[in-house]
Chain A
């Protein structure tokens, strides 16, 4: 039976040239109201001496920014941010990838194992902080108790109570809870790699190790991009784990830029100075993030 293609006469567009803007308007309003406007307000307050509570303040220009380099806690916070970012990107990504590769094979109880490894990611952070706080208790905590049990008394430490170990002790649960997310992403990506590639590699005599580096890793490039970009953002905005587990202490040993910003804005009544720290965090995140995203985007395309 023959079919007849009907061509509808073109109707004039409703709204004319404004149609795209009307469609974008709701999202645009939300974006401006809840992101752009607060960001610009913060930029303005960073140029003032506002205490964060009073109805009045004075314009002080760049004074708050000039003070930043001479603040010893800022130096500590920057160093801690760098350490935190490197460690909490490298370890969860590597462990997540290893778990994904392991779980992608023929493993008994695969769904249960996936659930176990991903569960920390959905636990409330405050609960995680409390649980690990108890584990780290120097006298009764499971970690020191285990070390004493196996005769390693000398390794038992007041993990959260001394400068030398506190930051590292907080990073362990951070790695623990952040491993599940890259594992899931890598697992999904691994399942999308055509089996023919491995079969061809096998025919060519490639070992499993060579297959991993020559087939698996290149095929995971888009997943690497997503995992690293999201991890980078997550690491830069670190606040909650530090705040809940050490409160920035002992002393100021585990302060990061996020907690130091919070302390100044919300506790020291130095909202102008605190927002200057927030602006710097944002600028650094942009400076580090944009080149990476651009390079990855270019590569992916």
Chain B
């Protein structure tokens, strides 16, 4: 009778495993990863991946069902709401690498969507732009936000501007009768709110990007449009007085309790809607808050308002970004996916979806159902915007930037040192 030793058994196992592993790793220099390049088989089954909020996912599912009924398709809709750009792209990327990526996915523009275009995971939608006439039906500036080095990787359907959304009763409690029109007035409003025991700005730094909205506004205020844009592209040094001043103001907002105590540890999902609940006076966000926070809480929009944060600069700008749909380059259903996107960006579909900042001509928000979003669009919709900073930088540099913010707010670094550190981060990226 043969005897088998554990050592021998494991040795053979290892050899077999090594053989398998090495067989997948043959070839030096430039190689092809194991993820495969095969295009999926055509079928009538589509999958749409999004980060639609719980409050509005039902609207999307209803419209997708309508598309299915018209086209004989079966489309499943998966959503990962709540985490913002911090988690959703990771999950999408994992699905794509696993070979089971969605046919269509929603994504932000700028540096969040760019890697999917660069890696050719997203299909070139140029031919579909021609076929469906998206160039003429969708805002051109928004299209530019999802075009990467001439590669039209996405169809933007949302172009959002960030402003201050406030609780009118809390402003009234502090004796503030109208929104501020200068930065000095905004600081005065903050002081009045604090004096009556109300935290002015509801912001949370858990992921970095929410508290960033305050700093980017302060930078627009101190640097002005032209310099701000050059800073974001690395064409000007961050190690300069305007940036130092912005960091100093940032710290001032915390020291004067104009943002919540311990803001760095707060989750944006908890703190952003606090102005609706009445625990903070305002927050910095986009039009989605009307459907997602005010209407979802069954509150009357008349009790709230919005205003563009005053920069004291010309032209007056606000932070903004686009979101849109991409098609999986490996989808076997590219034509049907494009047809689905075309259906979703029809003006009537956009209205049914209650898109509060549609890029589609003829789909402006309805003042009856979304009065505050309509008001924002009328007042500030035509104002230019600067690229929101977590889309201006790749994720790694954005996280480094958030670390600088964190150190500054904790008093571990000075505004001067923060400006120098930012220059190191941005120049290393720009050179790369």
Q: Pick out which of these stretches binds chain A: B44-52, B138-146, B262-270.
A: B262-270
Does residue A173 face the partner (Cβ distance < 8 Å to B)?
no
Query: Using Cβ atoms and an 8 Å threshold, which residues of chain A touch B121?
Result: 53
Chain A residue nearest to B267 in the complex (CB):
A133
For chain B, residues 394 to 432, give those with C-beta under 8 angstroms from any C-beta of chain A.
Answer: 394-396, 399, 402-404, 406-407, 410, 412
Cα distance A56–B35 in the bound complex, in angstroms: 10
A24-45 CB contacts (< 8 Å) to partner B: 24, 28, 31-32, 36-37, 40-41, 43-44
Choose the segment among B10-18, B174-182, B245-253 that binds chain A (4+ C-beta atoms closer than 8 Å).
B10-18
Shortest distance from the beta carbon of B421 to any chain A beta carbon, whole Å: 11
Contact of A56 among B18, B31, B90, B266 (CB under 8 A): B31
Separation of A17 and B3 alpha carbons in the complex (Å)? 9
Given A249-B205, A250-B406: A55 and B9 within 8 A (CB)?
Answer: no
Q: A247-B86, A250-B406 are in contact. Are A56 and B205 (CB under 8 A)?
A: no
| C-alpha spacing A42/B96, complex, angstroms | 18
Question: What residues on A are CB-neighbors of B207 within 8 Å?
Answer: 247, 249
Q: Mark B361-395, 1 if CB is under 8 A from A, else 0.
A: 00000000000000000000000000000000011
Binding site for B on A (CB under 8 A): 17, 20, 24, 28, 31-32, 36-37, 40-41, 43-44, 48, 50-59, 133-134, 136-140, 157-163, 166, 246-247, 249-253, 262-263, 266-270
Q: Considering the chains assembled together, what is the distance between the CA atoms of A74 and B257 in angstroms?
A: 34
When the two chains form the complex, which single residue of A31, A160, A249, A266 contacts B13, counting CB atoms closer than 8 Å? A31
- How far is it, in angstroms, between the C-alpha of A269 and the C-alpha of B111 when the chains are bound? 12
Q: Are A57 and B31 in contact (CB under 8 A)?
A: yes
Contact status A251-B406, CB under 8 Å:
yes
The reply on B233 being an interface residue by CB < 8 A is no
Counting contact residues on chain B (CB < 8 A from A), the size range is 35 or more
CA A163 to CA B410, docked complex, whole Å: 8
CB distance from B25 to the nearest CB of A (A): 4
Asked whether A251 lies within 8 Å of B31 as measured between CB atoms, the reply is: no
> Residue of B at shortest CB range from A73?
B403
Which residue in chain A gives the minimum CB-CB distance to B16? A32
Query: Contact: B264 with A162, CB < 8 Å?
Result: yes
Q: Name 8 extra pairs, CB < 8 A, besides A55-B35, A249-B403, A268-B396.
A: A24-B9, A32-B16, A37-B20, A51-B115, A56-B33, A161-B266, A162-B265, A249-B206
Q: Which 4 A-B pairs have the closest CB atoms?
A: A158-B262, A161-B265, A40-B21, A160-B265
Asked whether B33 lies within 8 Å of A50 as measured between CB atoms, the reply is: yes
How far, in angstroms, from A162 to B408 measured CA to CA in the complex? 11
Docked CA distance A57–B265 (Å): 37
B171 at the A/B interface (Cβ < 8 Å)?
no
| B72, CB-defined interface residue at 8 Å | no
Contact A263 B399 (CB under 8 A): yes
Bound complex: CA of A269 vs CA of B404, how far in Å? 21
Nearest B residue to A139 via CB reads B261
Q: List 8 A-B contacts (CB under 8 A).
A: A52-B97, A58-B29, A137-B266, A138-B260, A158-B264, A163-B406, A163-B410, A250-B410
**The residue from A43, A158, A263 contacting B261, defined by CB atoms under 8 A apart:** A158
Q: Does B116 contact A (CB under 8 A)?
A: yes
Neighbouring B residues of A266 by C-beta, 8 Å: 90, 93-94
Q: How far is the CB of B21 from chain A (nearest CB, A)?
A: 3
Interface string of B29-57 (1 = CB under 8 A from A): 11111110100000000000000000000
- Residues from chain B with Cβ under 8 Å of A41 in the complex: 21, 24-25, 34
- Report if B2 contacts A (CB, 8 A): yes
CA distance A233 to B75 in the complex (A): 42
**With an 8 A cutoff between CB atoms, is B120 at the interface?**
yes
Do the beta carbons of A249 and B406 come within 8 Å of each other? yes
Q: Is the CB of B265 within 8 A of A136?
A: yes
| Distance between B115 CB and nearest chain A CB, rounded to angstroms | 6
Are A251 and B403 in contact, with the CB atoms below 8 A?
Answer: yes
> With a CB–CB cut-off of 8 A, which chain A residues contact B16?
32
User: Contacts A137-B266, A250-B406, A268-B395 given: A53-B260 contact, CB under 8 Å?
Assistant: no
Q: Report the nearest B residue to A266, measured CB to CB.
A: B90
Residues in B whose Cβ lies below 8 Å from that of A134: 270
A55 x B37 contact (CB < 8 A): yes
The answer to whether B396 and A270 have CB atoms under 8 Å apart is: yes
Asked if B150 lies at the interface with its beta carbon under 8 angstroms from chain A, I say: no
Mark contacts of B276-314 with chain A using CB atoms, 8 A cut-off: 1 yes-contact digit, 0 otherwise: 000100000000000000000000000000000000000
B86-137 residues at the A interface, CB under 8 angstroms: 86, 89-90, 93-94, 96-97, 115-116, 118-121
Closest residue of B by beta carbon distance from A33: B20
Q: A53-B116, A56-B30 are in contact. Are A37 and B21 (CB under 8 A)?
A: yes
Chain A residues whose CB sits within 8 angstroms of the CB of B25 once the complex forms: 41, 44
Q: Which of A53, A159, A263 contacts B265 (CB 8 A)?
A: A159
The answer to whether B120 touches A55 (Cβ under 8 A) is: yes
Q: Is the CB of A54 within 8 A of B90?
A: no
Q: How far is the CB of A267 from chain B (nearest CB, A)?
A: 5
Q: A161-B265, A263-B399 are in contact. Are A246 and B21 (CB under 8 A)?
A: no
- Give Cα A252–Cα B93 distance, bound, in whole angstroms: 23
Query: Across the interface, which residues of B come within 8 angstroms of A32, CB to CB?
Result: 13, 16-17, 20
* Residues of chain B with a CB closer than 8 A to A166's CB: 265
Most buried by A among B9, B31, B32: B31
Contacts of A262 in B (CB 8 A): 90
Instruction: Write out the residue numbers on chain A whose beta carbons fall within 8 Å of the beta carbon of B116.
Output: 53
Chain A nearest CB from B39 CB (Å) reads: 13
A52 to B261, CA, bound (A): 38
Contact A159 B20 (CB under 8 A): no
The complex places the Cα of A266 from the Cα of B97 at a distance, in Å, of: 11
Chain A residues positioned under 8 Å from B260 (CB to CB): 138-139
Task: For B90, give the chain A residue with the smallest CB separation.
Answer: A266
Q: Write out the residue numbers on chain A whose beta carbons fall within 8 Å of the beta carbon of B262.
A: 137-139, 157-162
- Whole-angstrom distance between the Cβ of B376 and the nearest chain A Cβ: 29
Assembly CA distance A162 to B265 (angstroms):
7
